[in-house]
Structure 1
Amino acid sequence: MKIVVAYSGGLDTSVLLKWLKEKYNAEIIAYCADVGQADELDGLEAKALATGASKCYIGDLKETFARDYIYPMFQANALYEGRYLLGTSIARPCITKDMIDIAIKEGADAIAHGATGKGNDQVRFELAANALAPQLKVIAPWRDDEFRKQFPGRSEMIAYAESHGIPIRQSMKKPYSMDRNLLHISFEAGMLEDIWYDATTEKDRAMYVLSVSPEEAPDTPQYVQLLFEKGNVIGLATEGIEDIMKETGVTAEGTRGEYTLLSPYGVMMVLNTLGGKHGIGRIDIVENRFVGMKSRGVYETPGGTILLAAHRDLETLTVDREAQKVRDSLIPEYAAMVYNGFWFAPEREAIQALVTKTQETVNGEVRLKLYKGNVMQAGRRSPNSLYSEEIATMEGGYEELYNQNDATGFIALNGLRLKQFSRVNNK
C-alpha cells in the first residue's frame, strides 16, 4: 500500500507519518505545500525522510495560491459571517489539489491528513478529495479510536517520537495553535478558548507575526495606490516600495506610469508588509464551525484587509447597481461554500462565473491611507467610471442629463402601492 501524507514537520504529523507506516505496512510519501509559511519549511525534507517517508514533495504553490484562489475569492468580496477573510479556508483546496496530483502521479492508494475530528479542515480536505479524486481512500487518524487511545496527549506523542527516533524540537508548546499562509495567520486554542481573554494587551503582543499593534504603528499615515485590471490588482505605488520588494524578495514585472507591476504573489507580499507596518488586519471573532460548534479565532490579515477595502471601493464606481445587487446577494452563500469546503463544487463555480462577469469593468485606481490599524479611502478613478459629475452635481444645470421634474412621476409610481396598502389597512 502507498499513502501520501499531508506533512508539516511538526510533532503531530511526524508521529502520524510513522504510525501510518506501521499500521498499514505502507510506503509513505510526505507532502507539504508551500503557501507562504516562510521559514517553517526549513529542513522539512530531511526530517520527513528521517521519520520514515520514502519521498518528500514540497509544492511551491505561492503564486498559484495567490492567482487562482485568493484573487478570485477577493473578486467576490467574500467575508464569512461578515468578518472573517477566509485565510485558512481558501488555502485548503489549493493544498489538496496539489497533493492529489502527487498521489495520482505516484500511483498511491490513499491520502491521509492530520486534521482533528472537531475542526473544519477535515471537511475541507475530504470534500476537495471527493470532488477531485473519488477513487482515492482518505485516512483520518484522529478519527481512529486506536490512534486516539494511543495518543491521548502531547506527552505520549513525545515519548513515541523519542522511542522511534523521530527528530523533534524539545521546546515548550505555545499556549495557542497557529496556522500561517500568504493571506493570513490564525491563532486558536490555549488561552484563547477563554472568550473573555483579552488578546490585545501588551503581554500578548509577542504572539502576533505579521503586524505590529495599532498602538505601536507609525504616527504618520502612509498612502498606497492600487492599480486594478478586471477586478485584480496588477500594480502598486507607495513610498518605499523598492525597499519592501527587496526585503520580501519580490521582483517587478514592469512599470506603468507611477505603478510598479507585480504578480499576484508579489502584490500580497508587499501589501502584507505595508499593512503589518501600520497595524492593519487584526480581528478577534467567535465563528460558527461547519461541524456545529462555535470557536474563537484571532487572525492577522494585513494585505487582505487592504485589498478588500480597495476592491470594494472601486466597484462602487464601476459596477452597475443591479448587477452588484445580484452578485452581493450571493456572497454570504459563496463565503460559506469556501469556509465549509465546497470550493470545487459546481455551485461555487457557477457563482464564480457570475462574479467574473461583473469584474470586466472593474478597472482603474484606488488610493488608500493607512494609519494605526485603519484603512481609509482617499480617492478612486477609472476609465469605466459610471459616476458623472455633471449628473450628480448639486450646482444645477445639465437638465438634459437629469431633469428633476422626472422625479415626481418616479416617486408617485413607487409610492402607489404604499398608499393603497395604507388605505386598506390603516382605516
Structure 2
Amino acid sequence: MSDVKKVVLAYSGGLDTSVIVKWLKETYDCEVVTFTADLGQGEEVEPARAKAQALGVKEIYIEDLRETFVRDYVFPMFRANTIYEGEYLLGTSIARPLIARRLIEIANETGADAISHGATGKGNDQVRFELGAYALKPGVKVIAPWREWDLNSREKLMNYCEEHDIPVDFAKNKKKSPYSMDANLLHISYEGGVLEDPWTEAEEDMWRWSVSPEAAPDQATYIDLTFERGDIVAIDGQTMKPHDVLSYLNKVGGDNGIGRLDIVENRYVGMKSRGCYETPGGTIMLRARRAIESITLDRESAHLKDELMPKYAELIYNGYWWSPERKMLQAAIDQTQGSVNGVVRLKLYKGNVIVVGRESEDSLFDASIATFEDDAGAYDQKDAEGFIKLNALRLRIAAKKGRLDD
C-alpha cells in the first residue's frame, strides 16, 4: 500500500468519515485531504473544518456548490422530465457526479494519487462515485473503506474512536437518528430503521421538510413559474438563480404537504430497497415542466422524449452521468428546449400540485382549430375520413385474412 501517498476523501465530518480519516492514515500511511461540499443539505458544513483539523488534516476543502449543483446537474436532468421506475426523482443520484468531479479535480490540484468515500458496499453510491471518478481520471486509485475494514457496526466505529482519540462529538452522547439520511437541495432521503419492513408505515416525526397533507393549510397557494429554454428562471415574476428557485419551491411545497414519497426501488447492485423521500421542489418542477411542454413541444418530439426518458433515468440512477450515451441523450433533449418558454400557474393544496394555467409566445396550441365552436373553416372535418381509412388499411387487410381473430 506504499504507492498511496495522498488521498482525497469525501468528508462530511460525521462519525463514519472521521473514522475513515484516521483509518486511511493508519492503513495506507498516507496524507489525507478532505473535501466537504455544501449542496444545500440544510446543515452547516463549516464545522467540518474544525473536525478535520482536530484529526490532523492539513489540506481542507469546503465549498458552496449549490448553484453549480442545480444549474449544471439538476436542471439538465429535469429537462428530460426524469423519473426512475415511475416515482423516484433521483435526488441522491444526481449529486454524486458533481462530488466525483470535485474529488478528481482536487486530486489533480493537490497531487493526490487516490480518492476515498464513505459509501457502503451494499449501496448504489459506491458505483456512482467510482464510475464518475474512473471516467474523469482512468488511472486513479479508489479506496472504499467499507469494502476493506471490519468496522461494520456503529458500536465498532465508536470503539475505534475511543481507541484512537477521535473527537467525534456525537459518538457517545448524541442520540442517533434511526434512519440513514442523505440531503441536498433536491431532496432528503430516509432508509433503515422501521423502513426495512415494507409493510410498516413511516413514522410522522421522521419527515423533516414537509407537513403532512392532512396538516397543510386549508387555503390553496398559487404560484407562477416562468420558463426559459426549459429551465425555471422566475417565480411570481421575480427573477431567481437556479438554487434559489429550488430553495423557494422546497419551502412552499413543504408548507403545503407536497413531495413525500415511499417506494421500494431496484438498486443497481441487485437488491430491492425501501426508501422514503421528500422532494417538494422537484415535484412542483416536474409537474410545471410537463405543463409548459404540453403547449410548446411538437407531439412527436414530446413523445420521443418520453420514450428516451426511462433510459436517461436509468443512466443517472446507475452512475453513468459522464458516459457518452448520457451526453448523447442530453444533447438530444436540450435540442428540444429552445421553444420551452412561458409561464405555468400552479395551485398547491394539501399535497397536490394542480396545473391551472399555462401560456407561451411559443405555444403550438391554436384555439381557432381546437375549438368546439364554429372554427370558421380552420379545420375541415371531412379530412378525417380519409385519414382514418388510411390508418385502418393494414387492420382491414389483416382482418380479411383472419389475423385479428382472438
TM-score range, shorter chain: over 0.9
Segment of structure 1 superposing worse, 30-39 or 354-363? 30-39
Shift of 1:209: 1.4
Segment of structure 1 superposing worse, 52-61 or 121-130? 52-61
Report the aligned-residue RMSD.
1.0
Could you tell me whether the CA contact under 8 Å between 1:31 and 1:56 is conserved in 2?
A: yes
Could you tell me whether the CA contact under 8 Å between 1:278 and 1:371 is conserved in 2?
A: yes
The residue that corresponds to 2:209 in the other structure is 210
The residue that corresponds to 1:158 in the other structure is 158
Alpha-carbon separation, structure 2, partners of 1:152 and 1:178: 18
Alpha-carbon separation, structure 2, partners of 1:165 and 1:30: 19
Question: Which of 51, 76, 79 is the matching residue for 2:80?
Answer: 76
Could you tell me whether the CA contact under 8 Å between 2:121 and 2:147 is conserved in 1?
A: yes
Could you tell me whether the CA contact under 8 Å between 1:51 and 1:165 is conserved in 2?
A: no
Question: Which of 95, 114, 118 is the matching residue for 2:118?
Answer: 114
1:163-218 CA-to-partner distances (Å, cap 9, x unmatched) read 2221121222211111010000000011110111101xxxx222211111111111
Matches within 5 A, 1:27-426: 27-144=31-148, 147-148=149-150, 151-168=151-168, 169=170, 170-199=173-202, 204-237=203-236, 259-399=237-377, 401-425=378-402
Amino acid at match of 1:158: M
Number of residue equivalences:
397
Q: Which runs of 4+ in 1 moved over 3 A?
A: none
Could you tell me whether the CA contact under 8 Å between 2:8 and 2:114 is conserved in 1?
A: yes
Segment of structure 1 superposing worse, 15-24 or 204-213? 204-213
TM, length-normalised to structure 2:
0.96
Alpha-carbon separation, structure 2, partners of 1:100 and 1:42: 21
Give secondary structure in 1 for the equivalent of 2:17: helix
Identity of aligned residues (%): 55
Alpha-carbon separation, structure 2, partners of 1:119 and 1:108: 26
Give secondary structure in 1 for the equivalent of 2:398: helix
Alpha-carbon separation, structure 2, partners of 1:73 and 1:22: 40
Alpha-carbon separation, structure 2, partners of 1:215 and 1:414: 49
Amino acid at match of 1:207: M
Give secondary structure in 2 for the equivalent of 1:87: coil
The residue that corresponds to 1:255 in the other structure is none
Alpha-carbon separation, structure 1, partners of 2:19 and 2:258: 37
The residue that corresponds to 1:247 in the other structure is none
Give secondary structure in 2 for the equivalent of 1:38: coil
Question: Which of 15, 19, 35 is the matching residue for 2:23?
Answer: 19
Shift of 1:42: 4.3
Shift of 1:40: 4.2
TM, length-normalised to structure 1:
0.91
1:96-140 CA-to-partner distances (Å, cap 9, x unmatched) read 111211111000010011111110000000000011111211111
Structure 1 regions of 5+ residues with no counterpart?
A: 238-258
1:359-418 CA-to-partner distances (Å, cap 9, x unmatched) read 01000000000000000011000000000110000112321x210010010001001111
Give secondary structure in 2 for the equivalent of 1:197: coil
Could you tell me whether the CA contact under 8 Å between 1:317 and 1:385 is conserved in 2?
A: yes
Alpha-carbon separation, structure 2, partners of 1:153 and 1:261: 48
1:327-381 CA-to-partner distances (Å, cap 9, x unmatched) read 2111000000000000000000000001101101000000000000000011000
Give secondary structure in 2 for the equivalent of 1:101: helix
Alpha-carbon separation, structure 2, partners of 1:296 and 1:51: 35
